[in-house]
């Protein structure tokens, strides 16, 4: 079976940033959102919070751009990994990532990205709303279909109610 | 590590900034947050200092656990001498400010002096800079925060600001962060305005190394489960705090028409379910937001659904806004509550005080003590929605005689208005009571009468007293960490045992305020939430400090006594109607007229109230006048304050 993937449903996000905290604590034993691999982007005046993390792309730009081939795909866990013994810290991957998911830590002078906590992502474990979830990728669209179908049928009922009033 | 966060002393007159470490000796005695602020206030102000003069010291702090992997450590605490009461000024808010300040390297700020033009402080990775805020003066609270981000070119900056009410020295102006997180009570925004300090802005990326991160992470998870398993917190997470207003109003614990009724009738339009409907209609099915690291997420999101403010994004309303702009003024309509809530957030003034003062003015208008002459033609009748909104604006901008007079605070205003006006002012120590009516709940009445910052529910309210908990459960809660074998009553209309409950909660709430944790995460509304027994683990895993439950209790008692010492130094006298531990006589004289069968017809019996108060003083180690005895101060190691160690 294909490995699970992070699925972010930003509408469910409460903006609490617990995911950022536990990510840094899990990986470094340190509280510091600057070290988190997941980051909640906010538009406070809209009440809009969007968690951003690595999409573990199939055709990963970071992997493709790396001049020393330090980045590889781990098919078993469905993730893109950095080999720090090979990495030269050129930050090309940071520049090329379309999601801003590859970050650079100025203290350790290293790039870093989501490693799915080796299959037990802490951001998912701590998010009670499951705005960040860990699911089989092929299940995402069937769930979305169900929600959209509900919306359609509700709209249809409202429309027929309107028709009957005429 | 959390313990290497610093304290900074900032003199706005001279521009001098000193940064110091916080000694372990002080940490163990006061932990941090509100407790350490109480020590700093007592040590950094002189008796009788002018609350809006340069000598007043403004403390801004996070708790000792702020930004660690404990749970929900979002709280910012602000303390100074209050311009509203002349006694202790103290407020606490959620959001993201204090954690950002901790990542920027600081736990405590002591701000003195007065800048010669509007400024803001920028705190960034161990550095503090005083920057020009002339361009931001006059801005409402959110505009000011975004202007600071633009000024610094960093959208991640978190600021606490004062709004126009603070600039205009409205006595109860509050501090704001985010859209609606308010350090509401006792006028700390007014102190900021008096110092020409528009904002404190923070941005930090400094590591906070945890003492035992693996355990800290696991215990965080455990406590989250404990906290979110409490039904009350689940309800907070779906309906927000409006559910408390709805539940309290249903049995008759809500002030209506200032203090004439204890239940607001015809309130369907502002019941929690109705507020939730508006949130859902305007923001979709997921419309609850959370403060830093919190899984209760009690902050509702909405857009104002109609009227001149239609479409504006806001957060809340909290139950306090419902009480202030719906119940007390008898305008139980969602739109009035939402617009009132929006205006006080933008202006930066305490919703509770604003609503209470307007309701007081309405009763004075009804009694003919003020007339159309003083209101300049405004019909200040109860139930007039437009008048509520208009008065919020007049007070903030001190417009007209009445707006300007009320903005000075209840007691000064009562002296200007004269006649019988003071009699109708529902206050303790000069701070208006919140929107609740405590005539049927002696424990809650004792709490507001003796709260350190004036009438207030967040200092010692035994809210779980309303749950009629079984005796064994009460015994388990209240006999820990200090043995108590005195009487306890599960009946909320009773007087026995209540002083001990008030004393216990006073220490419990002080402890969470020292940690920087939200009260929804302790024994406030949820009887099963963590308290003294659980905290040593959280403290040890995150900071490495080893303390027993009893030692944490002692810290709380010590800090409460520091607050008491400050209040006594600044003129608290037991029976003083303006600065004492007393209730408005109406609590003793006017029986409740509405509510459940066991609530209607109640007063707080004066003699029993005095007995309760005397018993509370004994528990607290005070003499019969409510002054801490030398023995108590020695036991707590604060007999030589001010010690000026920090």
Instruction: Give residue limits of the domains in chain B.
Output: 2-203, 239-432, 442-636
Claim to verify: residue A21 and residue A81 sit in the same structural domain: yes
Q: Give the H or E element holding residue B280.
A: helix B272-283
Contact yes or no for B228 and A122 at CB 8 A: no
| Interface touch B205/A32, C-beta < 8 Å | yes
Q: Give the CA distances from residue B631 to residues B14, B518, B639, in Å, rounded to whole numbers and listed in that order.
A: 41, 32, 8
The CATH architecture to which B239-432 belongs is: Orthogonal Bundle (1.10)
Same-domain pairing of A102 and A154? no
pLDDT at B1 exceeding the cut of 80? no
| Contact flag A30-B213 (C-beta cutoff 8 Å) | yes
pLDDT number for residue B47: 97
Residues in chain A closer than 8 A to B342 (CB atoms):
none
B224 near A CB under 8 A: yes
Chain A nearest C-alpha distance from B228 (Å):
9
Q: What is the pLDDT of residues B85-135, one digit of tens each?
A: 999 999 999 999 999 999 999 999 999 999 999 999 999 999 999 999 999
Domain coverage including residue A157: 136-166
**The CATH number of the domain where A29 resides is what?**
3.30.70.20
Picking from B180, B218, B289 by the largest number of A CB atoms within 10 A of its own CB, the best residue to mutate is B289
Q: Which residues of B touch A150 (CB under 8 A)?
A: none
A60 conformational bin, left if phi > 0, alpha if psi -120 to 50, beta if neither: beta
CB B445 within 8 A of CB B501: no
pLDDT band at A147 (very low <50, low <70, confident <90, very high): confident
**Model confidence at A165, in pLDDT bands (50, 70, 90)?**
low
Element (H, E) at B386: helix B385-396
> Which stretch of A144-153, B54-63, B337-346 has the lowest confidence by average pLDDT?
A144-153
Please tell me whether residues A120 and A143 are part of one structural domain: no
For chain B positions 146-165, those within 8 Å of chain A (CB to CB) are 146
Q: Which residues pair with B208 in a beta bridge?
A: A31
Tell me: do A113 and A31 sit in the same domain. yes
Does residue A87 contact residue A110 with C-beta atoms inside 8 Å? Answer: yes
With a cut of 90, say whether residue A138 has pLDDT above it. no
Cβ proximity of B110 and B57 under 8 Å: yes
Same-domain check for residues A35 and A106:
yes
Q: Which CATH number fits domain B442-636: 3.20.20.80, 3.40.50.12140, 1.10.599.10, 1.20.120.1460?
A: 1.10.599.10
pLDDT at B166: 98
ipTM of the complex: 0.95
Are both B2-203 and B442-636 of the same fold? Answer: no
pLDDT, one tens digit per residue, over B495-506 is: 999 999 999 999
Query: A11 and A22: one domain?
Result: yes
B210–A30 CB contact, under 8 Å? yes
CA-based nearest residue in chain A for residue B96: A16
What's the maximum distance between 2 C-alpha atoms anywhere in chain A?
A: 73
Report the pLDDT averaged over residues B490-498.
Answer: 96
Contact (CB<8Å) A45/B142: yes
Tell me how many domains chain A contains.
Answer: 2
CATH topology of domain B2-203: Aldehyde Ferredoxin Oxidoreductase;  A, domain 1 (3.60.9)
Are residues A44 and A114 located together in one domain of the fold? yes
Residues A118 and A160 in one domain: no
Does residue A105 belong to the interface with chain B, where contact is any CB pair within 8 Å?
Answer: no
Inform me whether the C-beta atom of residue A39 falls under 8 Å from chain B C-beta atoms.
Answer: no
A160 touches chain B (CB under 8 A): no
Return contacts of A119-123, CB within 8 angstroms, 24+ apart.
A119/A3, A119/A4, A119/A77, A121/A6, A122/A19, A122/A22, A122/A23, A122/A25, A122/A26, A122/B217, A123/A6, A123/A19, A123/A22, A123/A23, A123/A38, A123/A51, A123/A53
Residue A49 and residue A77 in one domain: yes
Residue A141 has pLDDT above 70, yes or no: yes
- Span B36-55, mean pLDDT? 98
When the pLDDT of each residue in chain B is averaged and rounded to a whole number, the result is 97
Rounded to 5, what percent of chain B is helix, strand, coil? Answer: 45, 15, 45
d(CA B51, CA B265): 40
pLDDT tens-digit series, residues B561-594: 999 999 999 999 999 999 999 999 999 999 999 9
B216 close contact with A: CB closer than 8 A: yes
Q: What is the pTM of this model?
A: 0.96
CA-CA distance, B148 to B167, in Å (whole number)?
17
**pLDDT, tens digit (0-9, with 9 covering 90-100), for B341-374:** 999 999 999 999 999 999 999 999 999 999 999 9
How many CB atoms sit inside 10 A of residue B89's CB? 30
Do A105 and A75 fall into the same domain?
yes
* A108: nearest CA partner in chain B: B207
Q: Kind of pairing, strands B76-81 and A30-31?
A: unpaired
Q: Taking Cα atoms as reference points, which of B343, B344, B301 lies closest to residue A47?
A: B301
Of all residues in chain A, the one with the smallest CA distance to B221 is A126
Alpha-carbon distance of A69 to A62, in angstroms, equals: 10
Nearest Cα of chain B lies from the Cα of A66 at a distance, in angstroms, of 27
- Which residues are CB-contacts of B388 (< 8 A; sequence separation ≥ 6)? B325, B329, B331, B336, B340, B355, B358
Chain B CB within 8 Å of residue A88 CB: no
Query: B538 and chain A: CB distance < 8 Å anywhere?
Result: no
Are A116 and A161 found together in one domain?
Answer: no
Tokens of B19: 């940064």
Are A102 and A57 found together in one domain? yes
Q: What is the pLDDT of residue A166?
A: 60
Chain A interface includes B228 (CB < 8 A): yes
CA atoms within 13 A on the CB side of B577: 11
């Amino acid at each position: 079976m294909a490995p699970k993937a992070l699925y972010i449903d930003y509408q469910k996000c409460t903006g609490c940033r617990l995911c950022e905290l536990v990510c840094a604590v899990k990986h470094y034993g340190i509280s510091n959102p600057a070290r988190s691999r997941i980051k909640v982007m906010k538009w406070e005046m809209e009440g809009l919070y969007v968690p951003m993390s690595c999409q573990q792309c199939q055709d990963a730009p970071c992997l493709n751009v790396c001049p020393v081939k330090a980045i590889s795909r781990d098919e078993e866990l469905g993730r893109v990994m950095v080999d720090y013994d090979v990495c030269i810290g050129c930050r090309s991957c940071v520049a090329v990532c379309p999601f801003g998911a590859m970050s650079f830590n100025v203290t350790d002078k290293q790039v870093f990205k989501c490693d799915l906590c080796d299959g037990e992502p802490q951001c998912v474990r701590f998010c009670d709303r499951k705005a960040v979830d860990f699911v089989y990728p092929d299940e995402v669209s069937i769930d979305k279909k169900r929600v959209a179908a509900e919306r359609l049928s509700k709209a249809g009922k409202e429309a027929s109610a309107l028709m009957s009033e005429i | 590590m959390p313990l290497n966060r610093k304290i900074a002393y900032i003199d706005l007159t001279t521009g001098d900034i000193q940064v110091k470490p916080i000694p372990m000796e002080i940490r163990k005695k006061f932990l941090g947050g509100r407790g350490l602020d109480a020590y700093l206030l007592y040590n950094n102000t002189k008796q009788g200092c002018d609350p809006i003069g340069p000598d007043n010291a403004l403390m801004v702090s996070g708790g000792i656990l702020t930004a660690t992997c404990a749970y929900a450590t979002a709280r910012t605490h602000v303390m100074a001498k209050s311009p509203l009461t002349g006694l202790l000024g103290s407020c606490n808010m959620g959001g993201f400010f204090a954690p950002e300040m901790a990542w920027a390297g600081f736990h405590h700020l002591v701000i003195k002096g007065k800048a010669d033009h509007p400024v803001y402080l920028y705190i960034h990775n161990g550095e503090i800079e005083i920057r020009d805020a002339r361009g931001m003066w006059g801005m409402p609270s959110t505009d000011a925060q975004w202007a600071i981000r633009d000024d610094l070119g960093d959208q991640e900056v978190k600021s606490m600001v004062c709004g126009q009410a603070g600039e205009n020295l409205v006595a109860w102006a509050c501090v704001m962060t985010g859209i609606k997180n308010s350090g509401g009570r006792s006028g700390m925004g007014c102190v900021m305005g008096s110092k020409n300090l528009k904002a404190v802005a923070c941005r930090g990326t400094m590591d906070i190394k945890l003492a035992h991160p693996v355990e800290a992470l696991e215990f965080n998870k455990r406590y989250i489960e404990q906290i979110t398993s409490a039904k009350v917190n689940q309800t907070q997470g779906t309906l927000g705090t409006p559910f408390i207003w709805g539940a309290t109003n249903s049995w008759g614990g809500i002030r209506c028409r200032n203090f004439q009724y204890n239940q607001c009738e015809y309130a369907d339009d502002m019941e929690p379910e109705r507020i939730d409907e508006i949130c859902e209609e305007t923001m979709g099915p997921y419309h609850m937001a959370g403060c830093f690291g919190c899984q209760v997420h009690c902050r509702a999101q909405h857009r104002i659904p109609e009227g001149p403010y239609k479409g504006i994004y806001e957060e809340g309303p909290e139950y306090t806004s419902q009480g202030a702009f719906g119940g007390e003024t008898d305008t139980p309509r969602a739109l009035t509550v939402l617009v009132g809530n929006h205006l006080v957030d933008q202006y930066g003034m305490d919703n509770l005080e604003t609503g209470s003062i307007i309701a007081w003015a309405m009763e004075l208008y009804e009694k003919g003590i003020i007339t159309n002459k003083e209101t300049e033609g405004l019909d200040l009748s109860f139930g007039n929605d437009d008048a509520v909104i208009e008065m919020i604006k007049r007070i903030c901008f001190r417009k007209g005689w009445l707006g300007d007079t009320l903005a000075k605070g209840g007691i000064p205003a009562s002296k200007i208005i004269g006649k019988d006006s003071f009699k109708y002012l529902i206050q303790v120590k000069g701070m208006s009571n919140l929107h609740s009516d405590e005539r049927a709940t002696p424990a809650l009445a004792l709490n507001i009468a003796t709260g350190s910052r004036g009438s207030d529910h967040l200092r010692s309210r035994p809210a779980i007293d309303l749950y009629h908990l079984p005796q064994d459960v009460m015994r388990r809660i209240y006999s820990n960490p200090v043995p108590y074998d005195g009487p306890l009553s599960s009946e909320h209309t009773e007087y026995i045992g209540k002083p001990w409950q008030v004393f216990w909660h006073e220490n419990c709430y002080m402890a969470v305020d020292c940690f920087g944790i939200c009260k929804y995460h302790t024994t406030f509304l949820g009887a099963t939430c963590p308290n003294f027994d659980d905290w040593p683990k959280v403290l040890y895993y995150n900071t490495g400090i080893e303390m027993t439950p009893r030692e944490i209790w002692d810290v709380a008692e010590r800090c409460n006594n520091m607050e008491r010492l400050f209040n006594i130094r600044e003129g608290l006298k037991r029976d003083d109607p303006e600065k004492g531990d007393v209730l408005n006589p109406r609590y003793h004289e006017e029986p409740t007229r509405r509510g459940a069968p066991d609530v209607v017809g109640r007063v707080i019996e004066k003699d029993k109230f005095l007995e309760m108060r005397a018993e509370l003083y004994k528990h607290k180690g005070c003499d019969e006048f409510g002054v801490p005895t030398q023995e108590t101060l020695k036991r707590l190691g604060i007999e030589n304050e001010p010690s000026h160690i920090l």
